[in-house]
Amino acid sequence: MKSLLLGILLALCLAGLTALYRYADLEAADAARFAAALTALRLHDAEFNRDLLRLRHGDLPHYDTVNAAIRAIGTDLTALSAAAGELAPEVAALGLLAQHKRERLEAFKSDHALVRNSLAYTIHLQETLARRHPAVTALGASLLRFLRHPDERRRKAVTRQLSRLPPGGEFDSLNAHVQLILERLPRLETTLGELLNTPLGTVARRLAQVHLAAQTRLQRRADGFRLGLYLAALAFLSYLLLALARLHQAHRNLQAEMHRRLEAERQLLQAQKMEALGTLASGIAHDFNNLLTSIQGYAVLGREQLKAGQSPANAIGRIETIVARGRELVSRLLQFARPGSGRSERFAPGPVVSEALDFVRPALPGRVRLRFDNRLPPERKVTGRPGEWQQVVVNLVRNAADAVGGDGEITVSLTATAAGVILAVSDDGEGIPPERLSTIFEPFASGKPTGSGSGLGLAIVERIVHAHGGRIEVESRPGRTVFRIHFPWGESLQR
């Protein structure tokens, strides 16, 4: 009892430490995911700023990379929110900064697209109009300086060059596009500065420093729980090893006891089989007597044929046939008497039952009629021990013969079901009294007169059927008793 209580206590301690360690480990895992998301956020913010500058200087032909970077920042913020815990306010502040950056990016893309398109058209007009007016070339040089440094002084220089262009036609179109560049480019530079100066990466870096300290504390706590869990597991394992050693010894003792019981059971089964064999001896002796009489008759016939100068071949052939029948009878007798090997095999039930009936039929009283109704297809087979099936049939038929007395009918049938085979043995005897139905399978519960049987027949039948994974049903009333044995098709046998 003390060992059991100790085991329960160790198991509870182990379960508690396991739960604590799992919780601490989950916290540490969340912290690691949070740190990884912060690192990814800083990396994507740096990529965003880099690609924004490349876009401003014309190194990128489209906005795909900056759009991808801003989407990646949004994904990182989602991961941070899922594992934020106590740092949720700081993560919310990062989200506001990212939202501001996303809005300013849209303004930047709008102005940048206008400036880029106007600049492309302006360059095209300059190439066309430079031969027609020298002020166009000077305008191009001033505009180039303004593009590099869009300050007020260079803007005024571009405006002066515009005033020197002649009016009308393509010159007016050139003037309009240059004016748009002068208006939008400073605003574009202001938006670019706001985007680059948004402190998303800086705030994320400070948050990473704060989180690192918290992550270190969580990891230390998880390590402490892990150490406690290891120590508790070691104690529990030691207890289990001791319990297993005791259980192994108990198992060996149980195996020895089971072996002794199985050996006694096999001896009992064989003894009952010998009892049945003794009961059938008179019928077998009668068959042998008939065979010997036939042999003697044909031997006399053969001798007379030899004296008459005739060939005794026919008589010798008859003798050989009778000897073969005798050999077959002896073979069945030895097979029935031989102890079972305990190994199961696949076999067709019909021939096995028919052979058992051929064996038991000579021992029945002359006015007892034995009928066999086999409704099984020849190809259907079961897994079992044929010798034990025959012992079941012999025992049930013997009981039925005792029930009908010296005059009656016994029917043995085989039918197939989805689950297996039903072996039924019925008779038209006086039936089993209701008060005895519940005890007929108990050892030595025989209803026969003293000295006419051991009372083990039905007990052996029940044991064999149970070992095959089957079951028995009994119906009895005056004039009708049926034993139905349900054998499965291929269940594993029990021993």
- The closest of 173, 176, 174, 178 to 158, measured between CA atoms, is 178
CA 23 and chain centroid, separation: 28
Q: What residues does 475 pair with on adjacent strands?
A: 482
What CATH number was assigned to the domain covering residues 342-495? Answer: 3.30.565.10
Instruction: Give the chain's residues under pLDDT 70.
Output: 1-4, 6-7, 10-28, 212-215, 218-219, 221-222, 225, 228-229, 232, 236, 264-291, 294, 325, 328-342, 443-456, 491-495
Q: Map residue 374 onto helix, strand or coil.
A: strand
The residue type of 76 is: D
The first and second tokens of residue 106, run together, are 């849209």
Integer Cα distance of 173 and 165 in angstroms = 11
The first and second tokens of residue 265, run together, are 């059971």
Q: What residues does 415 pair with on adjacent strands?
A: 422
The first and second tokens of residue 82, run together, are 């899922």
Listed in sequence order, the residues at least 6 apart from 162 whose beta carbon sits closer than 8 Å to its beta carbon are: 139, 175, 178, 179
- The closest of 139, 142, 165, 167 to 153, measured between CA atoms, is 142
Helix (H) or strand (E) holding 476: strand 471-477
Q: Map residue 360 onto helix, strand or coil.
A: helix
- The C-alpha torsion from 261 through 265 and 268 to 269, rounded to 10°, is -170
Integer Cα distance of 382 and 351 in angstroms = 12
- The closest of 423, 294, 420, 403 to 356, measured between CA atoms, is 423
Give residue limits of the domains in the chain. Answer: 2-215, 280-338, 342-495
pLDDT at site 341: 47
The first and second tokens of residue 206, run together, are 């400070």
Please state, in angstroms and as integers, the Cα–Cα distance from residue 174 to each residue in 133, 149, 164, following that order: 13, 21, 12
Listed in sequence order, the residues at least 6 apart from 221 whose beta carbon sits closer than 8 Å to its beta carbon are: 24, 27
Q: Map residue 312 onto helix, strand or coil.
A: coil
Please state, in angstroms and as integers, the Cα–Cα distance from residue 245 to each residue in 2, 252, 353, following that order: 17, 11, 48
pLDDT at site 490: 75
pLDDT at site 421: 95
pLDDT at site 250: 85
H-state helical runs in 62-149: 64-82, 88-129, 135-148
Place of tokens 């008859």: 318
pLDDT at site 151: 85
Contact 431, 413 (CB under 8 A): no
Tell me the backbone φ, ψ of residue 346, rounded to 5 degrees.
Answer: -90, 130
Integer Cα distance of 472 and 381 in angstroms = 20
